[in-house]
Every structure is written in structure tokens, then in C-alpha cells.
Amino acid sequence: MKIGVLALQGAFIEHIKILEKLGVKSVEIRQRKDFAYNLDGLILPGGESTAIGKLLNDLDLLNPIQSQIVGGLPVFGTCAGMILLAKEIDNQSKTYIATMDATVVRNAYGRQYDSFNVMAYFNNELIEMPFIRAPYIKTVNDNVQVLATVQDRIVAIRQDKQLATSFHPELTNNTYVHEYFLSMLKL
């Protein structure tokens, strides 16, 4: 099994380390030629969605990634990665990969409360969730499953082979969310 990790900007090393811990091979995607057609899954890390989105465009990676996801490549986006996957961004007109039927709100928790850690349930498993200038999910279509809510706001969703979280499971020692993603690859 080989998972591509988008390594243009942001917290990608932490995802690679979690995959290593789980004994899964990863490939850093830094340019078009790294994005091969034999990947089993793709991780879009947190960081700054505007910067990652611009680089995806400039490096000619946006369309290939988008068409492989539409074609069934499993993908997991955390935080900025989730923003890249959303079909709608509430407080911004520009969208990026736009393959998930969800509307997200960027930097949704305000300045005073922009970074925090909570313990909450993801798919019935109690885990630590670090939020860093995080988005939340405002609305989803019926085809989207809600996997976690915090303070009545949706913070993790799944649509077929696409998974997205507002928070950063890769910044904790708990590998549950990554294991959940890897289990999606086998179905």
C-alpha cells in the first residue's frame, strides 16, 4: 500500500510519521511527476489553503488530483485540506479541488478562540482533537455522513471515499482517524 501526502506547505511531515507508525509507505507529492496513478490514497494536510491552492494551480496538480478523486482515489483532508475539498466556502468565493458536497467556513472560531484542544467522539471513539485556526462544516448534502461534532458544529465528514476533518489528528499520538481512513481503502 502506498499513500501520497501532499507536501507543498503545512503539516505534512506529521501525517508521514503517523503512516510510518502504522507501517504504511508514503510518497511526498511535491510536483506533478510525483503524482503517480498507482497511489492507494492521498492525504491533504493542514496549512494555509490559499497558499496550497495557489501552488496546486501553479504546479499543474489541481486537475489531476481532482479527476483522480472523482475517479475514486480515496482522500483524507485535514483542516486546510478539508477547505480544498469543499465544494463551497462560506466566506470566500474561490474553491479548489471541490469534490465534497459540503459548505465550510474558514477561520471559523474567531481570534480569541482560534486554537484549542478538545476530547470528543469521532465515529464513537473518544479522541483528542487539536483545532488550529480551523474551519467548521456549515452544511452537508444527504450523501455526506457526519462523523464528529464539537459544540454542535460538524467537524468531521465522509462522502464515499473522501474523509475530511476540521481538526488535526496527526498532531496527537492517537492513530485512530488514520486507521479509519486506511480502512476506507479496502472497501
> Which residues of this protein are in contact with ligand GLN, per CB under 6 A?
46-49, 79-80, 83, 106-107, 132-133
Q: Half-sphere exposure of 7 toward its Cβ, with a 13 Å CA cutoff?
A: 16
Kindly tell me which of 26 and 78 has the beta carbon lying closer to ligand GLN: 78
Q: Match 474523509 to its residue by C-alpha cell.
A: 163
Cα distances (angstroms) measured from residue 172 to each of 16, 95, 127: 13, 29, 9
Residue 116 beta carbon to ligand GLN: minimum distance, rounded to whole angstroms: 12
Q: Which of 48, 168, 178, 179 is catalytic?
A: 168
- Looking at residue 124, the DSSP 8-state letter turns out to be T
Q: Which residues contact 181 (CB under 8 A, 6 or more apart)?
A: 41, 43, 74, 76, 163
Kindly tell me which of 87 and 133 has the beta carbon lying closer to ligand GLN: 133
Cα distances (angstroms) measured from residue 118 to each of 32, 34, 92, 128, 172: 37, 35, 27, 6, 12
Kindly tell me which of 106 and 178 has the beta carbon lying closer to ligand GLN: 106
- H or E element at residue 31: none
- The answer to whether 28 is a known catalytic residue is no
Q: Which of 14, 88, 125, 170 is catalytic?
A: 170
Residue 168 beta carbon to ligand GLN: minimum distance, rounded to whole angstroms: 6
Residue 142 beta carbon to ligand GLN: minimum distance, rounded to whole angstroms: 26
Cα distances (angstroms) measured from residue 184 to each of 11, 51, 79, 115, 160: 22, 28, 19, 29, 9
Kindly tell me which of 23 and 110 has the beta carbon lying closer to ligand GLN: 110
Helix axes 12-21, 176-186, angle to 10 degrees: 70
Q: Which of 79, 88, 125, 178 is catalytic?
A: 79
Residue 48 beta carbon to ligand GLN: minimum distance, rounded to whole angstroms: 5
- The answer to whether 79 is a known catalytic residue is yes
List residues with catalytic annotation: 79, 168, 170
